[in-house]
Amino acid sequence: TSSIKISKIKYVNLHGTSSRDVAITLASCSVACHDIVLNDVNLTIANPKPGETVTSYCLNVHGLAQGVVNPPVPCLS
C-alpha cells in the first residue's frame, strides 16, 4: 500500500450551492493532511427541504478557517 501526504492547500473565495447536505468533505484515512486553509467559503444547499441545513465532514485533517466559512468545518480552527 502507499500513502500520500497532502499539505499547504488553500480554498479561497468559494461561493455556490451543493446538491447534497454535506457540502464540504475533508478526509484522509491513512496520513493526516496539514495546513489546509478555507478562506471566505459560503456554500448552501440547492433546493433545500424545509429545515435542511448544509453541513461538513472532517477526518484526520488539520488547518485553519479564515473569514466566513459556511458550513463551519469542525477540524479547522
pLDDT tens digit string along 26-55?
Answer: 998 889 999 999 999 999 999 888 989 999
* CB 32, CB 59: distance < 8 Å: no
pTM, rounded to two decimals:
0.86
Confidence of residue 2 (pLDDT cuts 50, 70, 90): low
Picking from 41, 45, 43, the residue whose alpha carbon sits closest to that of residue 20 is 45
